[in-house]
Structure 1
Amino acid sequence: MTEFATHLPAPTPRARLQKLTRRNHTESFLRMVAALFAAARPTQWPKNLLLFAAPAAAGVLSEPHIALQALAASVAFTLGSAATYFLNDLRDLDADRSHPTKCRRPLASGRISAKLGYAAALFLAAASMLTAMTVGWMTFIGLCTYLALTTSYSLYLKRFPVIDILVVAMGFVLRAGTGALATGVVVTSWFLLVTFFGALYIVTAKRQAELQSKTELMTPVSAEGLPPTTSRTTLSLYTKSWLEQTVTLALTSAIICYSLWAVQHPGTPLAAGLIQASILPFVATLLRYGYLCSRGDGQRPEHLMFSDGFLAAAAITWMLTAMAGIYLAVSL
């Protein structure tokens, strides 16, 4: 064996160079794929689980064809939202590059070129619309409305205070409403009101956390009136008192609407009791989230659920209690 090996021809420099080149190309391709995946913001994708909310609240999510319709609609919105994240980052390139943490985003750091970013946005938008069409025309219309709203936000609307908060909140409502359209579920006004005021509360509390963080890390103000620690142009236009008032309004409205939905929900005494009991963990979830945001910890709400045990426990208890009451009422 040793004698045979000694007669094998040694690799030529050209062969070694070709092998090294192929390895470099593979590594570059994998890095690009990883950067594209990161730019699509997978941590934001759980927002699209809201498309399951309407069929879940109606007690029909256990039916396979309903679950598949909701899943397909959720995939469509995941692709569409990823497209808008690319567009938003492309519009904020200069601001993100001067931000202490956003400068590490794939587009701002240069790991993805602007040309590739626009191509990815167009591809994801087209894929989302094709996926929505497989569910139905109403889902397609809901998705196109969402894309138009979020594109307008990225291009123009996010410059205006109040409007930027309302637009983001309406994005949540469109998700929930399209989930109902995709599955043929008729939702109540209470459902839509809870979704809107809950979303308004989450978004406004996030702005409150961002303002709190900006105040704590205050640096000399630039000529545009914005400290270099933030890339959100409307943040300097909000006041602490106004955000506190809006958070209180949204929180109060969400609790009232949810409570009215819960106490009016039909069912056996046990099922109705469980749904009404879900009011307590619902309130606890909102209060804990507001507390964390008031400390400046809510700049990334998607991470709070995994980093704060109290918030996670309250949210899980709320969902389990509400779903137990809903599906018990349906099954009896």
Structure 2
Amino acid sequence: MTEAAPLTNSAPSKSTALLEQRTPPRRTPPPREGSLLGGLVRTARPKQWVKNILVIAAPAAAGQLFTAHALTRLALVFALFTACAAAVYLINDARDAEADRAHPTKRHRPVAAGRVPVSLAYTVGGVLAALALAGAVWLTPPLVPALLAAYLGMQLAYCVSLKHVLVVDLVLVATGFLMRAMVGGLALGIPLSRWFLITTGFGALFMVAAKRYSEAVQMAGEAGATRALLTEYTTGYLRFVWQLAAGVAVLGYCLWALEEGGTHSSVLPWRQLSVVAFILAVLRYAVFADRGTAGEPEEVVLGDRALALIGLVWLAMYGLAVTPW
């Protein structure tokens, strides 16, 4: 009598079949078209380009903004400064690619993620910088390419080493904002008032220090600060810096507004009245700085209705003070 052959699992069990139905096979998504170009654009930080609107600051302060020549020249300067800033971002991300790959957030940047080759980021950044300088030499007064070259040199030095130097990092970032505000005046041959430089420079330092203070407060007690220097700055020191900078900015603006001999005669003393709106704006912004929630300046201004309204009132008063009637 022969033994019965053992049963074999020729058909899958019900549980196995059910599992296969619930977990469909993974499919590798096809590569997105234009991902390289999109990665380059993302690396150039389009959201940061709004800062370059500061190129209109000096012409607006002088009441020489709304002319065809001024608007055309300022559009050109905006494009040149944006190209320089984009070049710095591309070179910075290429240089920091290895370090960014170990960071929980920065590892998603296109260069760190491998979406944009490091060599290509360097090349595009260098080409943008060269084209911006060449265009400035060809199309603008000599002081404009000189300022753009100084900006590029300063920002590249910042990326390489100066961002690790206490206090110097704050000053260089604030100086970048000041250069944006100066370049429009240089492009149109407008003399830059000492009060304009003082108010703009220390106003920029106020916002930069407030942002660093907010980052330090939010990262307190957490390992791996977003910026290495945040572990060396104390919140007390950063608070002192933004308070000092705010005070000097307000003082500079008050001296401008109370200076004898207004630019234009009008029914009301709009120059002097604009001091109230300016101080209220600084005080309102300081609320967010004190709470440690003063991140990106544009997000703070646009995210708070009261601050945005105060800013509009100040713009209206300032416009009335410098516009001839």
User: So what's the TM-score if we normalise by structure 2?
Assistant: 0.84
Equivalent in 126, 133, 147 of residue 130 of structure 2: 126
The alignment yields a C-alpha RMSD, in angstroms, of 1.8
Distance apart, 1:91 and its partner CA: 3.0
Verify the 8 A CA contact 1:44 1:302 in the aligned structure 2.
no
Verify the 8 A CA contact 1:61 1:67 in the aligned structure 2.
yes
Work out the CA distance in 2 between the residues paired with 1:321 and 1:100: 46
Query: Which amino acid is the alignment partner of residue 192 of structure 1?
Result: L
Distance apart, 1:274 and its partner CA: 1.9
Verify the 8 A CA contact 1:95 1:231 in the aligned structure 2.
no
In structure 1, the partner of 2:15 is none
Secondary structure of residue in 2 paired with 1:187: coil
Equivalent in 278, 294, 297 of residue 282 of structure 1: 278
Deviations 1:78-120 (A, max 9, x none): 1101111112222333443343433322222222121121112
Identity of aligned residues (%): 35
The 5 A counterparts of 1:184-203 are 184-203=189-208
Distance apart, 1:309 and its partner CA: 2.0
Verify the 8 A CA contact 2:273 2:317 in the aligned structure 1.
yes
Distance apart, 1:288 and its partner CA: 2.4
In structure 1, the partner of 2:297 is 301
In structure 1, the partner of 2:41 is 37
Verify the 8 A CA contact 2:214 2:295 in the aligned structure 1.
yes
Query: Which amino acid is the alignment partner of residue 299 of structure 2?
Result: H
Deviations 1:30-86 (A, max 9, x none): 222222111111111121111111111111111211221122112111110111111
Rate the CA distance shift 1:294–1:104 in 2: closer, same or farther, 3 A.
farther
Deviations 1:186-216 (A, max 9, x none): 121000001110011011111101101111x
Deviations 1:113-144 (A, max 9, x none): 21121112112112211231212221111111
Query: Which amino acid is the alignment partner of residue 107 of structure 1?
Result: V
> Structure 2, unaligned stretches of length 5 or more?
1-29
1:237 paired to 2:232: yes
Equivalent in 242, 265, 282 of residue 268 of structure 1: 265
1:171 paired to 2:176: yes
Work out the CA distance in 2 between the residues paired with 1:99 and 1:280: 44
1:212 paired to 2:217: yes
Equivalent in 290, 308, 317 of residue 321 of structure 1: 317
In structure 2, the partner of 1:79 is 83
Work out the CA distance in 2 between the residues paired with 1:95 and 1:291: 35
Rate the CA distance shift 1:231–1:79 in 2: closer, same or farther, 3 A.
same
Which aligned runs of 4 or more in structure 1 are off by greater than 6 angstroms? none
1:102 paired to 2:86: no
Distance apart, 1:313 and its partner CA: 2.0
Query: Which amino acid is the alignment partner of residue 194 of structure 2?
Result: S
Query: Which amino acid is the alignment partner of residue 303 of structure 1?
Result: E
Verify the 8 A CA contact 1:35 1:112 in the aligned structure 2.
yes
Verify the 8 A CA contact 1:96 1:231 in the aligned structure 2.
no
Structure having the higher helix fraction is: 1
User: So what's the TM-score if we normalise by structure 1?
Assistant: 0.83
In structure 1, the partner of 2:151 is 146
Work out the CA distance in 2 between the residues paired with 1:276 and 1:131: 40
Work out the CA distance in 1 between the residues paired with 2:39 and 2:303: 25
Number of equivalenced pairs: 293
Distance apart, 1:305 and its partner CA: 2.7
Query: Which amino acid is the alignment partner of residue 267 of structure 2?
Result: L
Work out the CA distance in 1 between the residues paired with 2:77 and 2:242: 30
Rate the CA distance shift 1:324–1:106 in 2: closer, same or farther, 3 A.
farther
Verify the 8 A CA contact 1:106 1:112 in the aligned structure 2.
yes
Distance apart, 1:269 and its partner CA: 4.1
Work out the CA distance in 2 between the residues paired with 1:105 and 1:301: 22
